[in-house]
Structure 1
Amino acid sequence: MLLAHDDEGSGPAVVLLHAGVADRRMWDAITPALAHTFRVIRPDLRGFGETPMPAEEYADADDVDALLASLGVTDAAVVGSSFGGRVAMELAMLHPARVSSLVLLCAAYRGLEPTESVRTFGAEEDRLLEAGDVGGAVDLNVRTFLGPEAGVAARELLTQMQRRAFDVQIAADQAVPGPAPRRVEVDPTAIAVPTLTVSGAHDLDHFRSVARHLAEQIPGAEHVELEWAGHLPAMERPDAVLALLLDVLRDDPTVHAP
């Protein structure tokens, strides 16, 4: 199955992988300017946006690899937000030749135990979904994952994207048989490309710890914390994240100035 996607601009390829509360629309404010310099490819992963979630075994990293192959892209810089950051690392593990560099924005990672704040969030989300209160679960995610810099438009867009994801995924999970995501183990010490990990000072403590841990474990990786950011800096202050990405992708020596 080929992922729904946008493919804009020309030049070196950059893949933007969305967060698990969003879809490819989360990059709308960044893509036009980025596409002046790069070929920007942004897919909807399975169960998000316009990509369905069929009843079969799959790995998100394999889906991204297949998409790049179909587009004739041999390798790309991969930017992943939250869940998309985990998929980016999985791509680097399963298909290392596809990845020339990584930017991990508040990445998800299974290698650290969840903190109390994450467990509390997860329990409340489960409670709301089990009660059939999908709207309440959407609101919970928007409140939790958008930082103080996010405006009304960002909150409205995230509400739409998270609602869409819940609708698709709940329907898929109720099917028999249902989808079967394949777990991919990530060994950060085996990632061998230039990597920047980014955290937000207003994010949940778990994700801040993940960013620091990955920077310590991935050979040569560096870490920057954005003092203004929550969990989704690309939606909260897209201009600032665009500037950061342009510096990273152009290999600017001032890249790590937040």
Structure 2
Amino acid sequence: MSPHTDPRASDVHVPAPGGGRLWAERRGTGSPVVLLHGSGMDSRLWDAVAPALSRHHDVIRYDARGLGRSAAPERAFDDVADLLAVLDHFGLRRAALVGLSMGGETVLDFALAHPGRVAALGLVGASVSGHDWPPSPETTAYAEARRRGDTAALAELELSVWAAMGRDAPGGELVATMVEENAARRIVSEHHLAGAPARAAEPLLGTVTAPALVVHGDRDHPEIAAIARRLAADIPGARGHLVPDADHYLPLRTPERLIELLLAHLA
């Protein structure tokens, strides 16, 4: 049975700041854990992880603004404010936050803005605000695809650059489906996200107080590996793990190893 139709899970529509709704799912009991996905995907990223975590925790995952089942933005929005709205909607004073890529960037920014609300951090293939990404042909191609509104090119780039293990690897069909279904939504969402306040977490990593787990795959983008090393070195007490046989879509490529690491970190 798909996790999206699991009778033990409940679908919730969370009012988003400034209008619209965020699709969320809640399952399990125990200490709360909120899962955030990356750009160009949606909460199906956690399909192979959420059920196992929910045997020990109160697990919430949601689709970021304009992606998956969440409403498209009509004005500028802020991912950190959206995460705060999710926590408040579910009455969570504190929660562990686990984010991949853009989701990792969001939870780090949130931890700096609202340290008292964060019990622990899980940073999986995370990006970090304020990081100076080196220029490359792929970043130029991304910018051009967004400028033209070329959703097919954007999806193809996403799969070639970030899903390097391909469709035949574990989770490959779901990765491709998510990327292709969200390509057009991503362009709209990222256009409105440009209005959010500029942040720079990278120089402030030494002030993060939540216990942090930093995970990335050995087949991920080289710059994600560089960021992971920086996160593990600069966040006080952070523990870093390199996971074999995983690209940027690590929760679908090697879910068992990620579940093991998260359960140990959140215990």
Both structures adopt the same fold (TM-score exceeding 0.5): yes
Does structure 1 residue 181 correspond to structure 2 residue 196?
Answer: yes
Q: Is the 8 A contact 1:104 1:198 kept in 2?
A: yes
What number of residue pairs does the alignment pair up? 246
SS in 2 for 1:114: coil
Who is 1:9 aligned against?
A: 28
For the structure 1 residues 26 and 178, does the alpha-carbon distance in structure 2 shift closer, same or farther, using more than 3 Å as the test?
Answer: closer
Equivalent residue for 1:57, pick from 76, 86, 99: 76
Does structure 1 residue 20 correspond to structure 2 residue 39?
Answer: yes
Who is 1:254 aligned against?
A: none
User: In angstroms, what is the RMSD of aligned CA positions?
Assistant: 2.3
Equivalent residue for 1:45, pick from 64, 86, 91: 64
For residue 150 of structure 1, report the CA deviation from its aligned partner: 6.5
Whichever residue aligns with residue 33 of structure 1, its letter is A
For residue 129 of structure 1, report the CA deviation from its aligned partner: 4.3
Who is 1:68 aligned against?
A: 87
- Write out aligned runs for 1:128-207 (5 A): 128-131=145-148, 133-148=150-165, 151=168, 154-171=171-188, 180-186=195-201, 187-207=204-224
Whichever residue aligns with residue 145 of structure 1, its letter is W
CA distance in 2, matches of 1:11, 1:150: 35
For residue 173 of structure 1, report the CA deviation from its aligned partner: 7.0
CA distance in 2, matches of 1:47, 1:122: 22
CA distance in 1, matches of 2:120, 2:238: 10
State which drifts further: 211-220 or 80-89: 211-220
For residue 144 of structure 1, report the CA deviation from its aligned partner: 1.7
In the superposition, the TM-score normalised over structure 1's length comes to 0.86
Whichever residue aligns with residue 199 of structure 1, its letter is H
Give a deviation string over 1:123-181, Cα, whole Å, max 9, x none. Answer: 1223344455422321221122124386467232222222333222434678xx99722
CA distance in 1, matches of 2:194, 2:163: 29
CA distance in 1, matches of 2:193, 2:227: 30
Does structure 1 residue 215 correspond to structure 2 residue 262?
Answer: no
CA distance in 2, matches of 1:54, 1:41: 21
Does structure 1 residue 92 correspond to structure 2 residue 111?
Answer: yes
> Is there any run of 5+ residues in structure 2 with no aligned partner, and where?
1-15
CA distance in 2, matches of 1:178, 1:232: 22
SS in 2 for 1:40: strand
CA distance in 1, matches of 2:226, 2:149: 32
SS in 1 for 2:121: strand
CA distance in 2, matches of 1:178, 1:33: 32
Does structure 1 residue 234 correspond to structure 2 residue 251?
Answer: yes
Q: Is the 8 A contact 1:59 1:184 kept in 2?
A: no
CA distance in 2, matches of 1:178, 1:86: 14
Give a deviation string over 1:203-246, Cα, whole Å, max 9, x none. Answer: 11111110111111111112111132211211111122112211
> Is there any run of 5+ residues in structure 1 with no aligned partner, and where?
251-258
In the superposition, the TM-score normalised over structure 2's length comes to 0.83
CA distance in 2, matches of 1:56, 1:131: 20
